[in-house]
Each structure stands twice: as structure tokens, then as C-alpha cells.
């Protein structure tokens, strides 16, 4: 029976978009580092009967009746999250990573208080206080940058001086376009010096931490981790807040999430998170995340061989950021478009000290979580990187692009999107 039979019969217009998206994902390869393919089990949970249920509050303390199974399910999800990240407390209700960050800010600060976070142009995230965001009107954000954009080294002494000057309430470590490990011990030392909380936004590398191939900020003494539950964690689109050990912080965060920021949680999504966390606790997940790193390193080798400038000089994680305008004479927008034409999906991205606009920047950002989910390894990563370089060099050669598209489709046919986790 067709998976979408009821939609097909009831709503042909929406059905057509579902079929179209399945076809797009099947024939092309996903290299956006914040995207992934979830297992059929996660999709089943995310589309389950839990979507019917209002569950305002927390397990054992709900505002509505009929919570026998929601309480059990959310508790299982919480316990799995705590085990994955070595946390004493976890809130799995945030609707997304941005919602998690905003709730965390309100839990730990008063309006007007200061946050010290990574500059967006050097790899940070919009929710770390970019001027265009609403949260920037509530709290005061100051920023730190890389000391050397070609190595990725953070200027920790400059960070310390900013902290001493502004006395932030929170020092925030985390990124959306940064490819190196952070020195979490230095963040903690500076935070202790100025009396700040330490928070790590690990949305991009949560799966790498859970699988043991990236450092856990809690091991260095961080107070809080915020994260999404998709990306490298391979769960449904949602957010989560983890607290290392402080019960008072946990209580404040729970109140900030509900009733502070949200009403009824999306119990179907929490069920999907629980299934994904169960997958992440298996030995197979450790093998998976280790392969992600091998694949990004394989792509790094190809880009360096073609003299394409890589921000941070390369990668220690799941993503790469390339200055294609400076190296190949193609803008980030042009690269995104032409690569999409051959079946490779990634995103344009600003680079550090960008001279172009956000909508047509100098760089592209790409990563290996989704292609690794399909079972691709170093050989395929190398092949895809070569195709990317050739495509960008032949951006105006229609015949060549058709040939490259066939190569991508052949590769994708050999590595179909899996339904099972393993």
C-alpha cells in the first residue's frame, strides 16, 4: 500500500508535493550540514497518535487529563537524553533550537543582561544575538571572533578582555558555520573569572558528542547545553536543553519553557526524539558518527588539492566552509544554484570578514551527515567533492552539467535513502 494513500485520496495537491520531495531526496544527495534523513521509525513516531494530545506541563504534573502514555513516553525520552550527554537534567519540550536558546536566556538572565557569544560572520548563529533578531531587543549581546580565520583559532584573550569589560551573565560557546573544536576549558575559566554561566549551543554537533567523536562541554564543567534534535543527532526537527547538575537551573529552565515560552508541547515530536535517542545509544551510531568525520576529511583533501580556500583551514567535525568566490570566481548563490542543477544540495554562506551580501555571499557550507546516513564512505565523499569542483568550474556548460547530474544519480541509486537506522 502506498505510504501516503489517505493523503492521495483526500488531497492530491499535497500528495504531489510529498511524492516530489521523496523523488528529489532519492535522486540527489543532501550536503546541507544541518539536514539529515531520519529512520522510518522516527517518522512513524513523528506522525503518530501523539499528535492528538495536549500535554501542558511535565510528566506527573500536567494540566489536562489522559496523560498515562504521554508521561511514560516523555520520561523515557528524558532518560535517554540524560544518558546520551551525561546530564543530570533534560528538557525535551522546546519546539526548536531557537526556542531552546530563547528559553535558556530568560531562565538565566533578566532583560538588559549581557551575553557573550560568537559573531555570526565568524561562525555563530542568529540566536546568539544578531541585530536582526527580536531577542537582541531584550538582552545585550557582545561578541568574540576567530583570531585567525585560516586556522579557526578563537581569540581567547580577546574573548577574556570582552568578558572582563562587559561582565556577561552568560558566555555562549557554539556555532552554525565553524569547523574546529572549541577549547571548552578556556570558556569555563573565563566564566569563573567574571561570574558567568557557561552555555554551549551544540545544535550542529550534538550527534558527534553523543557518539563520542567530539568533546562534551559538560566534561569541562559547562552549566547548560542547548541543541536541536535533528542534524547529526538524526531525530525529528525540534530542540532540547540539558543541564549538567544544577537543580535550580533545571527548575528555572523548565519554567522558562513552560509556561514561559510555550504552551502544549508537540508530543508526537517528543516521541520521535525518544526513538532517535534510542538509536543514538546503540554501538552502530558510534560507527556512523565516526564515518561522518572520515567523510568530511576526504572532502577536505579534494578541495585543498584544487586550491580552494577553506575557512578554518579544514575541519574537525561534520562541515566545511569554502570561499568559492575567492578561489573559483563563483559566488555562493551561483554555486548553490548550479550544484542544485546536478543534484547536489548545499547552502550559500557568508565567510569571515565577508565583502559580499548575505544573499549572494562568497562562500558555501556543506557537510556529510546525510550522505553518511546513506552508507557513503570516503570513496563516495571524494567522488562528490570532485563533482562539486567540476560543476562549479563548468557552471555555464549545459552538456557537462547533464553528464555530472547522471553521475550523481548513479551514485544515489547505489546508496538509497535507508528506511531503517541500520
185-244 pLDDT, tens per residue? 999 999 999 999 999 999 999 999 999 999 999 999 999 999 999 999 999 999 999 999
Q: Are 124 and 117 in contact (CB under 8 A)?
A: yes
Domain-located, residue 375: yes
% of the chain with per-residue pLDDT over 90: 95
pTM: 0.96
Composition of the chain by helix, strand, coil, percent to 5: 50, 15, 35
Domain-located, residue 152: yes
User: 184 an active-site residue?
Assistant: no
Greater confidence (254 vs 353) lies with 254
- pLDDT at residue number 120: 82
Q: Catalytic pick from 143, 215, 237, 365?
A: 237
Domain-located, residue 6: no
Average the pLDDT over 115-140 and give the result.
89
CA–CA distance, 20 with 291 (Å, rounded to integer): 29
User: 54 an active-site residue?
Assistant: yes
Q: Catalytic pick from 25, 30, 74, 201?
A: 201
For 347, residues 6+ apart whose C-beta sits below 8 A from its C-beta are 32, 336, 364, 365, 366
Number of domains in the chain: 2
Q: How many CB atoms lie within 10 A of CB 84?
A: 24
- CB-count exposure of residue 87 (10 Å: 0-12, 13-18, 19+): buried
240 with 327, same domain: the answer is no
Q: Are 177 and 332 in contact (CB under 8 A)?
A: no
Average pLDDT value for the chain: 96
Report residue 48 as a C-alpha cell.
503518530
Helical ranges in 96-180 per DSSP H? 97-108, 156-166
186 with 82, same domain: the answer is yes
93 with 187, same domain: the answer is yes
User: 380 an active-site residue?
Assistant: no
359-391 pLDDT, tens per residue? 999 999 999 999 999 999 999 999 999 999 999
Average the pLDDT over 142-171 and give the result.
96
> Which uninterrupted H or E stretch holds 49?
none
366 with 245, same domain: the answer is no
Is residue 1 over pLDDT 60?
no
List the CATH number of the domain containing 315. 3.90.1150.10
The alpha carbon of 340 is separated from its chain's Cα centroid by a whole number of angstroms, namely: 21
Domain-located, residue 198: yes
Task: Report the DSSP pairing between strands 146-148 and 153-154.
Answer: antiparallel
Average the pLDDT over 388-404 and give the result.
97
346-361 pLDDT, tens per residue? 999 999 989 999 999 9
Which of 260, 280, 300 is a domain's end point?
A: 280
Q: Catalytic pick from 231, 244, 252, 365?
A: 231
The sign one gets for the Cα dihedral 146, 152, 154, 155 is negative
Task: Report the DSSP pairing between strands 197-201 and 224-228.
Answer: parallel
pLDDT band for 125, please (50, 70, 90 cuts): confident
Q: Catalytic pick from 56, 341, 386, 407?
A: 56
Which of 259, 280, 301 is a domain's end point?
A: 280
- pLDDT at residue number 132: 86
User: 56 an active-site residue?
Assistant: yes
For 240, residues 6+ apart whose C-beta sits below 8 A from its C-beta are 81, 90, 91, 92, 94, 100, 226, 227, 228, 229, 273
Which of 229, 257, 280 is a domain's end point?
A: 280
117: which strand partners? 143
The residue segments making up the domain with residue 238 are 44-280
Indicate the Cα dihedral angle 177, 196, 131, 218, nearest 10°: 30
User: 372 an active-site residue?
Assistant: no
List the CATH number of the domain containing 172. 3.40.640.10
**First CA to last CA across the chain, in angstroms?**
23
83 with 148, same domain: the answer is yes
pLDDT band for 88, please (50, 70, 90 cuts): very high
- pLDDT at residue number 121: 83
Angle at CA of residue 123, ends 355 and 318, nearest 5°: 125
Q: Write down the number of H helices and E strands in the chain.
A: 16, 17
Domain-located, residue 196: yes
Q: Catalytic pick from 54, 297, 360, 386?
A: 54
Is residue 89 over pLDDT 60?
yes
pLDDT band for 130, please (50, 70, 90 cuts): confident
Is residue 148 over pLDDT 60?
yes
Domain-located, residue 140: yes
179 with 323, same domain: the answer is no
Report residue 178 as a C-alpha cell.
565553524
Tell me the Cα Rg of the chain. 22
12-59 pLDDT, tens per residue? 999 999 999 999 999 999 999 999 999 999 999 999 999 999 999 999
105 with 230, same domain: the answer is yes
85 with 175, same domain: the answer is yes
302 with 400, same domain: the answer is yes
358 with 210, same domain: the answer is no
Closest CA to 55 of 269, 356, 288: 269
Domain-located, residue 103: yes
232 with 91, same domain: the answer is yes
Domain-located, residue 7: no
Closest CA to 247 of 89, 12, 110, 394: 89
Q: Catalytic pick from 228, 269, 296, 368?
A: 228
Q: Are 236 and 246 in contact (CB under 8 A)?
A: no
User: 228 an active-site residue?
Assistant: yes
Q: Are 23 and 412 in contact (CB under 8 A)?
A: no
Amino acid at each position: 500500500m502506498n505510504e501516503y494513500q489517505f493523503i492521495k485520496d483526500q488531497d492530491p495537491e499535497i500528495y504531489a508535493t510529498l511524492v516530489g520531495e521523496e523523488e528529489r531526496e532519492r535522486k540527489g544527495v543532501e550536503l546541507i550540514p544541518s539536514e539529515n534523513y531520519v529512520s522510518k521509525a522516527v517518522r512513524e513516531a513523528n506522525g503518530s497518535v501523539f499528535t492528538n494530545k495536549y500535554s501542558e506541563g511535565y510528566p506527573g504534573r500536567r494540566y489536562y487529563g489522559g496523560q498515562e502514555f504521554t508521561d511514560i513516553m516523555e520520561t523515557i525520552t528524558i532518560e535517554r537524553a540524560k544518558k546520551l550527554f551525561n546530564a543530570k537534567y533534560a528538557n525535551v519540550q522546546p519546539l526548536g533550537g531557537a526556542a531552546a536558546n530563547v528559553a535558556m536566556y530568560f531562565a538565566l538572565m533578566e532583560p538588559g543582561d549581557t551575553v557573550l557569544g560568537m559573531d555570526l560572520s565568524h561562525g555563530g548563529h542568529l540566536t546568539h544575538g544578531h541585530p536582526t533578531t527580536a531577542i537582541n531587543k531584550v538582552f545585550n549581546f557582545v561578541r568574540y571572533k576567530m583570531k585567525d580565520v585560516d586556522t579557526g583559532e578563537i581569540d581567547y584573550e580577546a574573548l577574556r578582555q570582552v568578558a572582563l569589560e562587559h561582565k556577561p551573565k552568560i558566555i555562549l560557546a557554539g556555532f552554525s558555520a565553524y569547523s574546529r573544536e572549541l577549547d571548552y576549558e578556556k570558556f569555563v575559566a573565563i566564566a569563573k573569572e567574571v561570574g558567568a554561566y557557561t552555555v554551549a549551543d551544540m545544535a550542529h554537533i550534538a550527534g558527534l558528542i553523543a557518539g563520542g567523536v567530539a568533546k562534551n562541554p559538560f566534561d569541562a564543567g559547562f552549566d547548560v547545553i542547548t541543541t536541536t534534535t535533528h542534524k547529526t543527532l538524526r531525530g525529528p526537527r525540534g530542540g532540547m536543553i540539558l543541564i549538567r547538575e544544577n537543580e535550580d537551573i533545571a527548575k528555572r529552565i523548565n519554567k522558562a519553557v513552560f509556561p514561559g515560552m510555550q504552551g502544549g508541547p508537540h508530543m508526537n515530536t517528543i516521541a520521535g526524539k525518544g526513538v532517535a535517542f534510542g538509536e543514538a545509544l546503540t554501538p552502530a551510531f558510534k560507527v556512523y558518527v565516526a564515518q561522518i568525520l572520515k567523510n568530511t576529511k576526504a572532502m577536505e583533501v579534494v578541495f585543498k588539492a584544487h586550491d580552494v580556500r577553506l575557512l578554518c583551514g579544514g575541519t574537525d567535525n561534520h562541515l566545511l566552509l569554502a570561499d568559492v568566490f575567492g578561489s573559483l570566481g563563483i559566488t555562493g548563490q551561483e554555486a548553490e544554484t548550479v550544484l542544485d542543477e546536478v543534484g547536489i544540495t548545499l547552502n550559500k554562506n557568508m565567510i569571515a570578514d565577508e565583502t559580499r551580501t548575505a544573499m549572494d555571499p562568497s562562500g558555501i557550507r556543506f557537510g556529510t551527515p546525510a550522505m553518511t546516513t546513506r552508507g557513503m564512505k570516503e570513496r563516495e565523499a571524494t567522488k562528490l567533492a570532485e563533482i562539486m569542483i567540476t560543476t562549479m568550474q563548468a557552471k555555464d556548460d549545459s552538456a557537462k552539467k547533464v553528464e555530472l547530474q547522471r553521475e550523481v544519480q548513479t551514485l544515489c541509486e547505489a546508496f538509497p535513502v535507508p528506511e531503517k537506522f541500520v
